[in-house]
A and B are shown apart, each in its own frame.
Chain A
C-alpha cells in the first residue's frame, strides 16, 4: 500500500485529501503514479494530465517526478507553494 495526499487547490478540485491504495504494478516512479491517477478520467485527468503545475513530495521531501516509489511510501501532490 501507499498513502497519497493532496493539498490546497488540488485537494479541492479532487474532493479528497488523502487515500491509501495498492502500489499500481506499473508505477515505478512519481510520474507513473501521476499517469495512473490521470487514467481515472474526469477531474483526475484534468489535474494530472500535465497541464496543471503540480509539485510532488516523497516521504515529506520535495522530489522530481522521476523519483522511485515503493510500497509503504507517502506521496503528496500539491500546487507550487505560496507561504511566507
Chain B
C-alpha cells in the first residue's frame, strides 16, 4: 500500500509492473489514470495549478486506501497524485489496485477515486482566456461517494 504526492510525472507502465509482480497470487490489476482536459465548464483551459495540504493529504489518502483494504480482499494499492502546474494531456492521478480476482480490484479502484475526489485536500486553479479561476466542487462527486 503506497501513497505518493509529487510534482513530477509518473511512469504508469513501470508502476503497474512493479505492483503486478509483487506477488504470484495476484490475478487482477485495475488502474485509473486521471488526465488533464483542455476544456472545463465551457472554457478552454491552458494550464492548471494543483494545491494541497502537505501532511493531511498523505494521511487522508492512506486512510482511504486502508478503508478499501478492509472492505475488499485486495493485495496491493498505489495512489500517486501530482501537484503544482499541469498542462492539458498531463497525467494528474494514478490509482492502481491488485487482487486475486477482478471484482475486488475494480470496486476498490473506483472507491478510492470517489473518496479521493471528496476527502483528500487538493484544490485546482485553472488558467482560462478569461483569467484564473478556482475549480468548483461538484455535487456529482458527493453523490458518487455516497454510493459506497
Q: Is the beta-carbon distance between B113 and A81 smaller than 8 angstroms?
A: no
- B residues within 8 A CB of A57? 53, 56, 121
Task: Answer yes or no: B136 CB below 8 A from chain A CBs.
Answer: yes
Q: What string of 1s and 0s marks CB contacts (under 8 Å) between B22-55 and chain A?
A: 0000000000001000000000000000111101
Residues in A whose Cβ lies below 8 Å from that of B135: 82
Interface string of A6-49 (1 = CB under 8 A from B): 01110000000000000000000000000000000000000000
Q: How many CB-defined contacts (below 8 Å) exist between A and B?
A: 72
Are A83 and B123 interface neighbours, CB within 8 A? yes
Give chain B residues whose Cβ lies under 8 Å from the Cβ of A84: 34, 81, 92-93, 113, 116-117, 120, 122
Chain B CB within 8 A of A60 CB: yes
Is B72's CB within 8 Å of the partner chain A?
no
**Residue in A closest to B116 when the chains form the complex, CB atoms:** A84
A residues within 8 A CB of B93? 83-84
Q: Indicate if A69 sits at the interface (CB-CB under 8 A).
A: no
Docked-complex contact A83 and B122, CB < 8 angstroms: yes
B137 within 8 A of A: yes
6 nearest CB pairs, A to B: A83-B122, A80-B137, A8-B123, A60-B56, A84-B117, A82-B135
